[in-house]
Chain A
Amino acid sequence: MDILFLLIPISVVFVLLIMVVFWWALNSGQFDHLDGEGERILKDDG
């Protein structure tokens, strides 16, 4: 089970990385207009 000594720290790093990616996505405005996105498919020219 020694591999856990590598895997668990890696998982911690991964979580931190994912948070960085989410931070980027949030800041680039991807989560700003969540309302109405679902209805985009109904638009005639959409």
Chain B
Amino acid sequence: MEGHRGALQVREDFRSLDDADEQAEFTTQANAEGVCESRLVVQGMHCAACADAVEAAIGKQPGVVGAQVNAATRRVTVTWNRSQTNASAWAQAAAHIGYRLLPAQAASRQDLVVGEQRMALWRLFVAGFCAMQVMMYSWPLYIADPGTISPDIERLLRWASWWLSLPVLLFASTPFFASAWRDLKQGRVGMDFPVSVGILVTFAVSTAATYDPTGPWGQDIWFDSLTMLVFFLLGGRYLEAKARVRTAGALDALLTRLPESCERQDADGHWARVSARRLQVGDVVRLQAGQSFPGDGVLLSDGATVDEALLTGEALPVEHVQGDTLIAGSRNLRGWVVLRITAMGQATRFAQIVALMERAMTEKPRLAVLADRVAGPFLLVVLVIAAMVAAYWWGEDPTRALSSAVAVLIVTCPCALSLATPAAMLSATGALARQGVLVQRVQALESLTRVDTVVFDKTGTLTSEQPQLIHVFTRTGVNAEQAMANAAQLAHGSAHPLSQALVSLSPTLQRLAWSTWTELPGRGVEASDADGSVWRLGALAWCGADIPEDYPQAVHVGLSDAGGWLATFVFDEALRQDAKETVQTLRSGGWDVRMLSGDHGGAVSKVAARLGIDSYDSAVTPEGKTQAIERWQAQGHRVLMVGDGLNDAPVLSQADVSVALGSGAALAQSQADVIIQSGRLTDLLVLRSAATRSASVVRQNLTWALSYNVVAVPLAATGWMPPWVAGLGMACSSLVVVLNALRLRQLR
């Protein structure tokens, strides 16, 4: 297991997991020695061996008694000693090998799922075992020549069959009855109604035949049909539920997030990190760039640049001055911001986005909605046909009447039709989720098959997120490491990608306390140190330098101190490794590839040339991007937009399908249709092929479901189909649909 890694690059420090209030949400009470149990969700698992890797990594940590991972639901239970270690310590151990641990919210919901699974398995077993035994009792009755079995023995066999059908009726069939009853109370006829009627009628008639063979109900028993029917139906539903639990586990693991935490000022002016949950109105809190405001508040700092796109749709950052109101959920873009909380509550972004995502996940694609709507009236027609069939045969041959009517009831159940689309979609989204591609809107899979144009954003999508430092020029007497260290200290607290690149090049630096520090848009960071000398990091001209002759086209950052220009850092954008291959394959699949970027012409045309993209545009504002997409859509194209999902919200919603690319917890804020967590562009190709294959599987399923009904109903109505064949046929048709959908689990 050495070296087995997860799919993620995890940079968080997990300190928010140590907060006592937060921990109480996912941890049991410690016993006398301080040992407690924590339950968390694991992100980044992509194969069966991941469970072992996570268990080993966490289990090796000092203070951890043990760790157990459930591969299907992606949950880990860690038993650890509070007095010996912190939650953040073992969470970081998992982070080092590529897995992110998040508190399992609604841990009790997890227990419920286990309980439900057990009940489903129990019912299946009861139905199956009793069906086997009842068939054994029925076998002699089928094959014996008439008159060779003595009436006593025959009565005994029937009696035994009755006894073993009771558990099936009372235990195993209850889901059908309960659901049919629920639908009836709402005035609807659901799928389980004909099934319930069939089961009850069959049991009643067979009971009468067992205990009163000379009565009006005849003397034929149907216990074998009854039990096998229930077994096949439950079997189909059990497999479907298992597939659904697995997919839900994968999606769940991708949607949970770290609890928010920020620094709060206490009575004597010190800043302490607390969980956002503990904040109250009147608290003064401090947030750095990239964090979201945990509540509504009044700005206490001089100014703030805030991204309110998630709330107002306004893509451009908003400048606020001291005294302005800040909204919960918007993001701080620049430097440290101090604010006083004026309101906390359910209107937090997390609750909104979770609600959005939950709604999106339960949205059914159009075809499924259509199938559901057809099912209702179809069932009523079925009931009428069954009654007519019974009436017809009653005159001719009463026993055939019952069996034909029941067979019609059972065989025409449109469960295959209702399962056709969801089974395929669930299977495909589950397989994609395991690959790290989260499909938030299932409709997107359907829409993808009609897309003919793909538009890429440049920075962060086609290029890697971090610019590469390729050269450092320094003033005589200063070495490069010194300059980089100074630059990193200036850059700390700025959200600009170049600042973050500089900070990450000197990761072990202590934060220097600048007496003043400001970030000026368009120019850079200016700060003064304890002696009062002014440092600058940013635009070359502003720092007193010229563009170096050797690197005219690259991105430059200057550094200056009290004595003037100190250093120039030359950055180049690195293309993602798989960008070229992805563009070529997308194009060879018949798609138009285009690029829209807000960056200046030189950089954009360079990237376009390297990737072979002919249609591109530079210096485009977000509104310009939206308009461009509208134009292409008006020309009849269906557009897929690939961006970083954070600043392109309005653009992404304009496109027919939107994909957000990248890694990190911030992605969970994205409203894109599909999120590619791994940051691999080639996953776009996987997504495209999964969409095409699932569309063809859905078509196959629907065709099969319809043809099965068309063929089976006449057979049942004319009495050629005993009820057990009807049950077998119905379950088989559903199983065929589900098995066909399972082919999508393998992403080619």
Is there contact, CB below 8 Å, between A12 and B129? Answer: no
Closest 5 CB pairs of A and B: A36-B71, A35-B72, A39-B48, A8-B160, A35-B71
**Interface bits B550-587 vs A (CB < 8 Å: 1, else 0):** 00000000000000000000000000000000000000
Give chain B nearest CB distance to A37 CB in angstroms.
9
With A15-B130, A36-B71 as known contacts, state yes or no: A44 contacts B153, CB within 8 Å.
no
On chain B, the residues within 8 Å of A39 by CB distance are: 48-49
Contact sample, A vs B, 27 pairs, CB 8 Å cutoff: A1-B153, A4-B156, A5-B156, A8-B156, A8-B157, A8-B160, A9-B160, A11-B160, A12-B163, A12-B164, A15-B129, A15-B133, A16-B167, A18-B129, A19-B126, A19-B167, A22-B122, A22-B129, A26-B121, A27-B118, A32-B114, A32-B117, A33-B70, A33-B72, A35-B72, A36-B72, A43-B1
**Interface bits B109-141 vs A (CB < 8 Å: 1, else 0):** 000001001100110011001100100010000
- Report if B52 contacts A (CB, 8 A): yes
On chain A, the residues within 8 Å of B121 by CB distance are: 26, 31
Give chain B nearest CB distance to A28 CB in angstroms.
11
Closest residue of A by beta carbon distance from B130: A15
List 10 additional A-B contacts (Cβ < 8 Å) besides A8-B160, A31-B118, A44-B1. A9-B160, A16-B167, A19-B125, A26-B121, A26-B122, A32-B118, A33-B70, A36-B72, A39-B48, A39-B49
- Report if B41 contacts A (CB, 8 A): no
Give chain A nearest CB distance to B78 CB in angstroms.
17
On chain A, the residues within 8 Å of B163 by CB distance are: 12
Give chain A nearest CB distance to B50 CB in angstroms.
10
Closest residue of B by beta carbon distance from A5: B156
Binding site for B on A (CB under 8 A): 1, 4-5, 8-9, 11-12, 15-16, 18-19, 22-23, 26-27, 31-36, 39, 42-44
A38 vs B157: C-alpha distance when bound (angstroms): 41
On chain A, the residues within 8 Å of B51 by CB distance are: 36
With A19-B129, A19-B167, A36-B51 as known contacts, state yes or no: A4 contacts B70, CB within 8 Å.
no
On chain B, the residues within 8 Å of A4 by CB distance are: 153, 156
- Select the residue from A5, A8, A22, A42 with max chain B CB neighbours within 10 A: A8
A12 vs B51: C-alpha distance when bound (angstroms): 43
A42 vs B52: C-alpha distance when bound (angstroms): 10
Which residue of B48, B71, B72, B133 is within 8 Å of A11 (Cβ)? B133
On chain B, the residues within 8 Å of A8 by CB distance are: 137, 156-157, 160
Closest residue of A by beta carbon distance from B51: A36
Give chain A nearest CB distance to B109 CB in angstroms.
16
- Report if B150 contacts A (CB, 8 A): yes
- Select the residue from A1, A15, A31 with max chain B CB neighbours within 10 A: A15
Is there contact, CB below 8 Å, between B160 and A26? Answer: no
On chain A, the residues within 8 Å of B157 by CB distance are: 8
A3 vs B123: C-alpha distance when bound (angstroms): 32
A34 vs B242: C-alpha distance when bound (angstroms): 11
Is there contact, CB below 8 Å, between A36 and B129? Answer: no
Give chain A nearest CB distance to B469 CB in angstroms.
41
On chain B, the residues within 8 Å of A35 by CB distance are: 70-72, 246
**Interface bits B258-296 vs A (CB < 8 Å: 1, else 0):** 000000000000000000000000000000000000000
A10 vs B48: C-alpha distance when bound (angstroms): 45
On chain B, the residues within 8 Å of A34 by CB distance are: 72
Give chain A nearest CB distance to B265 CB in angstroms.
47
Give chain B nearest CB distance to A14 CB in angstroms.
9
Give chain A nearest CB distance to B632 CB in angstroms.
45
On chain B, the residues within 8 Å of A26 by CB distance are: 118, 121-122, 125
**Interface bits B219-263 vs A (CB < 8 Å: 1, else 0):** 000000000000000000000000000100000000000000000
Give chain A nearest CB distance to B121 CB in angstroms.
6
With A11-B133, A26-B121, A35-B72 as known contacts, state yes or no: A1 contacts B150, CB within 8 Å.
yes
Give chain A nearest CB distance to B47 CB in angstroms.
9
A26 vs B118: C-alpha distance when bound (angstroms): 7
Give chain B nearest CB distance to A24 CB in angstroms.
11
User: Which B8-46 residues have a C-beta within 8 angstroms of A?
Assistant: none
